A and B are shown apart, each in its own frame.
Chain A
Amino acid sequence: MQSVITPITQLEATALKVREHIVRMSTDGGCFVGASLSAADLIVYLYADFLNINPNNLDDPNRDYLFLSKGHDVPALYGTFAELGILEKARLKNHLSLDDHIYWHPNTHIPGIEFHSGSLGHLPSVAIGVAMDIKIRGGKNKVVCIMGDGELNEGTCWEATLVANAHKLDNLIFVIDRNHFQANMPTEELIPLEPLQDKFTAFGAAVKRIDGHSFEALQEAFSAYPFETGKLNVVIADTVRGKGLPSIERRADRWFCNFNTEEVESLLKELHGEHLTNLTSETLVVR
């Protein structure tokens, strides 16, 4: 995790394990499985390759920062932390247990989580404050904030984009998990976002748009950091909600899922390309 180029096969193997963790967390109460699967490759790539974060020294003042603003994709973060040795794997079994802090949104009881989230449109501004302080101190730390595309409905995301550009925060990267869905329906059917790249460009950011499931594309895009001196970096990562599980991919009704035990076992096999799962559990559960 020291900004070295990680072999693609290794990233893919880690991402597969993270997806297994996500599926295992999508029962006994469930979780936001669709959004977690779309963000899984982004989160794995950032922690395993791009960010300078040492699991043995999480308080290192020279560390990079990641803020997960969309929040409900936190199972992907828990899974990544478990695979990278930041969080004990055994704790993942405590999902929704009163004895731990592994719940539906990020919180700072989990090592490596810098700030809690859940209320959309907050962490772009928190990330701005951290990036500002790094600039004031002359530090080299990078600051990444992952936002959902549905989250972009919140005005504070755009307010933050204006402010980040005004303050020339080229040490800050907004990563948009562009999975084309918000809670209940495709983004373009509710609050259309396209042309999204043009919007961020018009707001003054230096923008790259890539396939958010291609580790080659991620490595190429992020290797160009900082994209332009004095400009906020934005990466629009086109992703697929539910990526890795064809039986729920791009399905509006599979945002929050609480699968039964048989479904989980079948979905774990589906992740490995074995077969589609016959899902009988309740579909849309809006949290």
Chain B
Amino acid sequence: MSYEELLTQTALADDHFIVMTAENRALVRNIPGKLGNRFIDTGITEQTMIGAAAGLALRGRIPVVHALASFLTMRAFEFVRTDAGIPDLPIKLSSFIPGFLSDGNGPTHQAVEDISLMRGIPNMTVFAPADEQDLVMMLPEIWKHPHPSYVRINTRKTDYQHSPFKLGKAEIISRGEDVTILTYGLLFEQALIAVEILKNEGLSVGLINLRSLKPVDEQAILRATRDSALTITLEDHFVTGGLYSIVAEVLLKHCQTAKVIPMALKDKWFKPSLLPNVLAHEGFTGKQIAEKILGYNTNAYQPEMSIPQFSE
């Protein structure tokens, strides 16, 4: 099932749902005709859309709002914080092309601080699905949770069969003693490739798909960092405020130390290009990730990556 099919089905079955967009229709192309006046396009007005979503939520609605990740989280930040966060209203933010998914758009469109910003808002919950199946598994629980939420929408397809989602729980893909990769979102696809390469090189490798970044699965982080000689945090986000920071906070809170290396954007925006080129240029292909961990090059095969269907 696709994101749009799930949203359509959910909104048709429950008239609490209102689908809103700030003229970003890529994810909701066919919804206007199906939902009638419960589809609202406010035009290119991320701030007004969030304020209006708060008004709708005051009247008992569950607005699912759509905009490009950078404008939803930054242009409208104070509206999200003030009109969704302070009153703790169930406004559901669907952020389009977060992180590397903005591929060729350039730094204006790069939401690579969104996790940091959104998790800093009291009452807000933050999620990052690994692929479309993960996304569709997560959303029903997120949408029925009576609090604001931020979801890094990721509709890419992988062959991985995910386990059922539980809010606040990570998905443990494998456990390892030498190295464990903690990741979320789009880079899960590359982490799977990296894990295979590392295993072929004889390492015991763990992989965790965080899924829920706030609330975060503290026990999964504590156990992985305890059981593994090395932990890697892998994310298409600035190193500040994202998963590396989350892991540091969890370790400090529980008085635990660990060797943790961040693979993230180190205080710079990424070079805009098509997604596969971006990953290769920035060093985030599965093979590059594995080789960085190994400290030497391999003859491993890096599968070709599909180019995203749409960009705005």
Give chain A's interface residues, CB within 8 Å of chain B.
108, 114-116, 119, 122-136, 156, 159-160, 162-163, 166-167
Contacts and interface: CB of A to CB of B under 8 A. Distances in A.
Given A136-B38, A162-B43, A163-B43, A125 B86 contact: no
Query: Top 4 A-B pairs ranked by shortest CB distance?
Result: A129-B55, A125-B51, A129-B52, A133-B59
A122 B58 contact: no
B37 interface: yes
B24 interface: no
Interface string B262-292: 0000000000000000000000000000000
B52 A128 contact: yes
B78 interface: yes
Nearest to A131: B55
A118 to B, nearest CB: 8
A115 B40 CA distance: 22
B37 A135 contact: yes
Interface string B189-208: 00000000000000000000
Nearest to B49: A125
A156 B47 contact: yes
Contacts of B10: none
Contacts of A131: 55
A126 B89 CA distance: 12
B83 A126 contact: yes
Given A122-B83, A160-B48, A163-B48, A132 B58 contact: no
B106 interface: no
B113 to A, nearest CB: 21
B59 A159 contact: no
Contact of B52 (A115, A125, A162): A125
Interface in B16-53: 18, 37-38, 40, 42-43, 45, 47-53
25 contacts: A114-B58, A115-B87, A116-B82, A122-B82, A126-B52, A126-B55, A128-B52, A128-B55, A129-B51, A129-B52, A129-B53, A129-B54, A129-B57, A132-B52, A133-B18, A133-B55, A133-B56, A156-B48, A156-B51, A160-B48, A162-B45, A163-B48, A163-B52, A166-B43, A167-B40
Contacts of B87: 108, 115-116
A130 B59 contact: yes
Name the residue among A133, A162, A167 with the largest chain B CB count within 10 angstroms: A133
A134 B59 CA distance: 9
Interface residues of B, number: 28
Contact of B51 (A108, A135, A136, A160): A160
B55 to A, nearest CB: 2
Contacts of A126: 51-52, 54-55, 58, 83
Nearest to A116: B86
B61 interface: yes
B45 A163 contact: yes
Name the residue among A122, A129, A160 with the largest chain B CB count within 10 angstroms: A129
B56 A129 contact: yes
Nearest to A123: B51
A133 B51 CA distance: 13
Interface in B54-97: 54-59, 61, 63, 78-79, 82-83, 86-87
Given A115-B87, A116-B87, A126-B51, A132 B56 contact: yes
Contacts of B18: 133
A119 B82 contact: yes
Nearest to B51: A125
A166 to B, nearest CB: 7
Contact of B45 (A122, A130, A159): A159
Contacts of B61: 133
Contacts of B63: 129
Given A124-B51, A126-B52, 11 more contacts: A108-B87, A116-B86, A124-B48, A125-B49, A125-B52, A128-B52, A129-B52, A129-B56, A130-B59, A156-B51, A163-B43
Contacts of B49: 125
B65 to A, nearest CB: 11
A135 B45 CA distance: 20
A24 to B, nearest CB: 28
Contacts of A130: 55-56, 58-59
A114 to B, nearest CB: 7
A122 B79 contact: yes
A123 B82 CA distance: 11
A128 B87 CA distance: 17
B21 to A, nearest CB: 13
B78 A119 contact: yes
Given A126-B52, A128-B52, A156-B51, A163 B59 contact: no
Contacts of B43: 162-163, 166
Contacts of A163: 42-43, 45, 48, 52
Given A122-B83, A156-B48, A129 B38 contact: no
A180 B26 CA distance: 44
Contacts of A162: 43, 45
A99 B45 CA distance: 39
Contacts of B54: 115, 125-126, 129
A13 to B, nearest CB: 33
A16 to B, nearest CB: 33
